[in-house]
Structure 1
Amino acid sequence: MNAKLQRIFARLSIVPIVLLLLGFGAPTWAEAAGPLCYVNDNAGGINNGTSWTDAYTDLQSAVGDTGCTEIWVAAGMYRPTAGADRLVSFMLKNGVSIYGGFTGTETQLEQRDWVLNETTLSGDLNGDDVGFTNNGENSYHVVNGGGTDSNAVLDGFTIRGGNADNASSFPHNAGGGMLSDGSGPTLANLTFNGNTALNYGGGMFNLNSSNPLLTNVTFSSNHAADLGGGMYNSSSSPTLTDATFSNNTALSGSGMYNISSSPALTNTSFNGNTATNYGGGMYNSASSPTLTSVTFSDNTTTNYGGGMSNFGNSNPTLTSVTFSGNTADLGGGMYNSASSPTLTDVTFSSNTAPSGSGMYNVSSSPALTNVTFSGNTATNYGGGMYNIDSSPALTNVTFNANSASNGGGAYNYSASNPTLMNVTFSGNTAANYGGGMYNYVNSNPALLNVIFSTNGASNNGGGMYNRDSS
């Protein structure tokens, strides 16, 4: 190297030393914390997110740091804003994974425990909620899907205190816990609890082809004054695995409300949800969800479909599903109107309603294979099943120990013509007529290899009673 070049490099090498001596460090905009960033609301240090010691104390700071692609959050309470702007949410981002459930000392993701170390995202901006009161200042949506895809991850949090109550500004009347508009994030190990909406989706509102992936997620004690206490899906098809919907409330669809949607549910339970009108557990309108290994238990509604209500050409597919202990005015387990669900390996047990305790069908033709109706009780008609202007197809179906005033096992009315193949009626009872089956007004079922045994009726037709039918 010649002498001239040596002098130039020597001068350049002095520049950073002089800057440091003058008190200038590296520019802060060039020193992002990521890709792994830390958040702990009790952290000391310099709070730049580079370690647990120097963790950000505000989750929004980490989300806003463009260098953070994986964010670890210690147990604590985190709010979307320290101010009073109800429009502010935790906005998910593609390529960013946010994990909760840490104590603040872990070095491996697998060391966290999101159950023991509850990490809460709260919309209660003032911290003064008492149930669903004192929440007028709460965030409209605690979390927003932000148009993301499956590369946006939220994992290990409790989401509570969202209050979507803006009657004049859609969608701020929906999705108190989470709003997902055209989004498909990956959501795991989450609990949506104590969120509310004026209209739709107290826990979560999915619209415009939102297809989030939800695993090990619980929706509990959420409320919608209108539809979908736990979740509301509009033209959206989320995938849920190992999900629980419990103690949610709404006018209809207290656990889940679907309109023009086809969610897929596996290993999911609906328990103790309460609706004023229809669908204590689930309500479907022009929707065809797929349910595998799903349980509906102890759900209630004042009107139709304690476990599930299907309206308007809804044709869900159910495999290995159980309806037990559900209550309604019509259709304790399931109510179908102009809908034809497909049921395989399904059990209806100990459901109650004045009519159609297990299943109530209106202008519907469901297909049932390997289905059992047992111990369902109706005070009026159809302990196991009630059909009006309906023609379900039953194959390998058992009606056992159901009871009603008329039609202990099944009641067919007004041109209902079910097809029964390999069906057994045993131990069913009627206080009046038709211990096993009652057919009335041009109802003409077709029976092939059907067994009636030990059924009883106080008046006539211990096995089958026909009136104006053949």
Structure 2
Amino acid sequence: MKKIYKLLIGSTIAVASFNTLQATVRYVNLSNITGSAPYTSWATAGNDLQTVINESVAGDEIWIASGTYIPNSLPLGAIGTTLGGATVLNSRDYTFFVKDGVKIFGGFSGTETLFNQRNPIVNKTILSGDLGAIGSKDDNCYHVVIASDGTLGVTIDGFSITGGNADSSSGGMEVNGKSIFRWYGGGVYACYGKSMISNNIFYDNTAGNNGGAINSLNNSNIVISSNTFYNNNAIDGGAIYSYTNTSITVSDNIIRNNTASTGGGFATYYSTNTISGNKIYENIVWGEGGGIYVTSGTSIINNNIINNNKTDHNGGGGLYLNYGNNTIFNNAIYENTALGVGGGVLLTGNNTLTNNIIFKNRSSNYGGGIYMGTGTHTIINNTIYSNSINTNREGGGIFTTAGSGTFKNNIFWDNKKGISNNTVSSDFYNINNSAQVSFTNNLLQLQSSMYMIANFNFLGSNAQGNIFGQNPGFGNPANPLGADGVPLTDDDGLALVSNSICRSSGTTSGAPATDCTGATRTGIPNLGAYEVIFPLVLGVSDVARKNNTVKIYPNPAKDYIYFSETVSDIMIYTMDGQYTGVSSTHEKANISHLPKGLYMITGKDSKGNIISQRLIKE
């Protein structure tokens, strides 16, 4: 079973380095009033962080004890920029300016002799921009931390960074000949160099323009890993903003409850991006890209959980890919919402989507799961389940408008137009047949006669190997996340049962070597994102029995079984995990054709609770 995201903060985290210079360790402790240079022990630790940074040279580490540190000075040599008129610097320009090649680490108590003795969770080290009136952002510093113009790189690790407010519409300062603008990067302003930003918590930072928590601009290499971001706000990139970075890696972060006009969690432009292993949820935008927004550049987006993000007006509730070359694989994209188009994903440019589970996303207009615009799109081995659009719109699963789309080995099931999953365009719609599409070896939820040029859901002149209108045999679609509550693991309810029609029904052409859980695909691949087989639970624990509110009767039964309330997603399996073909979304099910024996019933009650009960067939 594969882990989706890593523990974010710990006392034994290995720290990557951009250089191999010999390190001198220097110390900072707010409570030490007798510190003295060169600050090389806890006994002589300085109590002013910037003073110790200024004392340091490339290769040095600074260990910082718990406490709240507030900037009290300008960077050495800083002058007001002339952009838009001369800027007079003031206390809001105060910041912690990290010199090139210096690493700063929080999370110490002030007694440690070894790095792995630190504990950032217990020993909270806060870098705060709250300069003046406590609780008022109007007089906060523009940037809590600046890392600029570094060839060796800086490290910022183990802090809570809060209260930056880059809210100006003009002005800034120049440091080492590089401009720092007052409207970018409330938490960290990282530009023109290399940075490693790890194991931090960013909260309550704002930017009048880009990058509420982090603004990354023109860096040659920046790594943002194992951080938590929440309650940050900007116009672009509520948490993180990237522009023209040669390489940016955003990995293993929790990014939640951030707001923006574009890119609630992360917005990136003209950069080379690796976005991997993040949990991105409950972010909200006014415009595009509730979770992630990408314009141009090259992106690898994999192993992320992108759920419950929202755009209030335009498109891409979970993910908006605006041109560029993008490879998207092994992601769980679910329960995102767009009041415009593309509830889960909006695509333009050149995109390859592989091994993703895209389910229960919603668009008020077109493309509940995916909206495909201009470009070349290759969609292979994805599970596209139970996405929806409004009744008078089109493309509950996928909506295409232009460009070309190649679809192989995918499962389309229970996607809806309004409340109907059996209506033309509930799964796929190609407006005016304007996109050139090709469907090979997919399972589609409607009967083949419903896919016609006249219906604008024609599957292409070379369509072959597709399965129409047959239940795919998911293990437990009522619970897509499985018993562990974590997607992309082998107990997921969208994994297939052993006798699923989708098993070994794919084409090897273009199929990935592994599935979304990391399991190897051998021989002829399954359809959908899972090669693993759903592990049917053969017993029902006492706790599970007590939680079942639905009565199933009679039991034993011969011809019909009845449910004490309206149910959904009911499926019946043999005790060795084979799907029987019996399902129900009402108050009874016909079991007359089943052989005598013991069966397992799974589904949901009227409140959405999981049903798991045995049935004896007479």
Q: TM-score range by the shorter chain?
A: 0.7 to 0.9
Q: Counterparts of 1:246 and 1:270 in 2: how far apart (Å)?
A: 6
Is contact 1:251–1:277 with CA below 8 Å preserved after alignment?
yes
- Which residue in the other structure is 1:15 paired with? none
Q: Counterparts of 1:424 and 1:361 in 2: how far apart (Å)?
A: 19
Is contact 1:306–1:332 with CA below 8 Å preserved after alignment?
yes
- Deviation, structure 1 residue 269: 1.9
Q: Counterparts of 1:94 and 1:278 in 2: how far apart (Å)?
A: 35
1:91 aligns with 2:97: yes
Q: Counterparts of 1:154 and 1:227 in 2: how far apart (Å)?
A: 23
* Counterparts of residues 407-418 of structure 1 (less than 5 Å): 407-414=425-432, 415-418=434-437
Counterpart AA for 2:165:
N
Is contact 1:39–1:72 with CA below 8 Å preserved after alignment?
yes
Equivalent residue of 2:141, what SS?
Answer: coil
Q: Counterparts of 1:438 and 1:298 in 2: how far apart (Å)?
A: 35
Q: Counterparts of 1:128 and 1:305 in 2: how far apart (Å)?
A: 37
Match of 1:140 among 139, 142, 154: 142
- Which residue in the other structure is 2:27 paired with? 38
Is contact 1:173–1:197 with CA below 8 Å preserved after alignment?
yes
Gapped runs of 5+ residues in structure 1?
1-33, 456-470
TM-score by length of 2: 0.63
Q: Which moved more, 1:50-59 or 1:289-298?
A: 50-59
- Go from structure 1 to structure 2 and tell me whether the alpha carbon gap of 1:290 and 1:150 turns closer, same or farther (over 3 Å shift): farther
1:243 aligns with 2:253: yes
Report which of the two structures shows the higher radius of gyration computed on alpha carbons: 1
- Which residue in the other structure is 1:31 paired with? none
Counterpart AA for 1:413:
I
Q: Counterparts of 1:165 and 1:364 in 2: how far apart (Å)?
A: 37
Match of 2:406 among 393, 396, 404: 393
- Deviation per residue, 1:13-68 (Å, 9 max, x gap): xxxxxxxxxxxxxxxxxxxxx92211111124345434323321111121011369
Q: Counterparts of 1:435 and 1:128 in 2: how far apart (Å)?
A: 64
- Go from structure 1 to structure 2 and tell me whether the alpha carbon gap of 1:93 and 1:352 turns closer, same or farther (over 3 Å shift): same
- Which residue in the other structure is 2:444 paired with? 425
Kindly indicate which of the two structures has a greater share of residues assigned to strand.
1
Counterpart AA for 2:41:
S
Counterpart AA for 1:294:
N
Is contact 2:101–2:150 with CA below 8 Å preserved after alignment?
no
- Go from structure 1 to structure 2 and tell me whether the alpha carbon gap of 1:434 and 1:38 turns closer, same or farther (over 3 Å shift): farther
Counterpart AA for 1:118:
K
Q: Which moved more, 1:62-71 or 1:241-250?
A: 62-71
- Deviation, structure 1 residue 211: 2.3
Is contact 1:154–1:188 with CA below 8 Å preserved after alignment?
yes
- Which residue in the other structure is 1:77 paired with? 68
- Go from structure 1 to structure 2 and tell me whether the alpha carbon gap of 1:434 and 1:308 turns closer, same or farther (over 3 Å shift): farther
- Go from structure 1 to structure 2 and tell me whether the alpha carbon gap of 1:172 and 1:143 turns closer, same or farther (over 3 Å shift): same
Match of 1:160 among 159, 162, 171: 162
- Deviation per residue, 1:414-436 (Å, 9 max, x gap): 2223111110013x69xxx9977
- Which residue in the other structure is 1:305 paired with? 316
Q: Counterparts of 1:436 and 1:373 in 2: how far apart (Å)?
A: 17
Counterpart AA for 1:320:
N
Equivalent residue of 1:86, what SS?
Answer: helix
Q: Counterparts of 1:436 and 1:119 in 2: how far apart (Å)?
A: 60
Match of 1:373 among 377, 380, 384: 384
1:253 aligns with 2:263: yes
* Counterparts of residues 183-332 of structure 1 (less than 5 Å): 183-224=193-234, 226-236=235-245, 237-302=247-312, 303-311=314-322, 313-328=323-338, 329-332=340-343
TM-score by length of 1: 0.82
- Which residue in the other structure is 1:357 paired with? 368
- Deviation per residue, 1:104-161 (Å, 9 max, x gap): 11111000011221111111112612xxxx2111111111112124542211111111
- Go from structure 1 to structure 2 and tell me whether the alpha carbon gap of 1:269 and 1:106 turns closer, same or farther (over 3 Å shift): same
Q: Counterparts of 1:417 and 1:439 in 2: how far apart (Å)?
A: 15
- Go from structure 1 to structure 2 and tell me whether the alpha carbon gap of 1:85 and 1:351 turns closer, same or farther (over 3 Å shift): same
Is contact 1:182–1:210 with CA below 8 Å preserved after alignment?
yes
- Which residue in the other structure is 2:523 paired with? none
- Deviation, structure 1 residue 103: 1.0
Equivalent residue of 1:365, what SS?
Answer: strand
- Deviation, structure 1 residue 362: 2.0
- Deviation per residue, 1:79-105 (Å, 9 max, x gap): 111796122221122332211101111
- Deviation, structure 1 residue 373: 0.2
Q: CA RMSD in A?
A: 2.3
Counterpart AA for 1:57:
N
Equivalent residue of 1:128, what SS?
Answer: coil
Is contact 2:35–2:47 with CA below 8 Å preserved after alignment?
no
- Go from structure 1 to structure 2 and tell me whether the alpha carbon gap of 1:436 and 1:43 turns closer, same or farther (over 3 Å shift): farther
Q: Counterparts of 2:353 and 2:196 in 1: how far apart (Å)?
A: 29
- Deviation per residue, 1:210-253 (Å, 9 max, x gap): 421222122221100x2111111111131122122111100111
- Which residue in the other structure is 1:121 paired with? 127
Q: How many residues align?
A: 411
- Go from structure 1 to structure 2 and tell me whether the alpha carbon gap of 1:435 and 1:299 turns closer, same or farther (over 3 Å shift): farther
Equivalent residue of 2:53, what SS?
Answer: helix
Counterpart AA for 2:31:
N
Is contact 2:386–2:413 with CA below 8 Å preserved after alignment?
yes
* Counterparts of residues 26-65 of structure 1 (less than 5 Å): 35-48=24-37, 49-65=39-55
- Deviation, structure 1 residue 364: 3.3
- Go from structure 1 to structure 2 and tell me whether the alpha carbon gap of 1:297 and 1:212 turns closer, same or farther (over 3 Å shift): same
Q: Counterparts of 1:439 and 1:79 in 2: how far apart (Å)?
A: 66
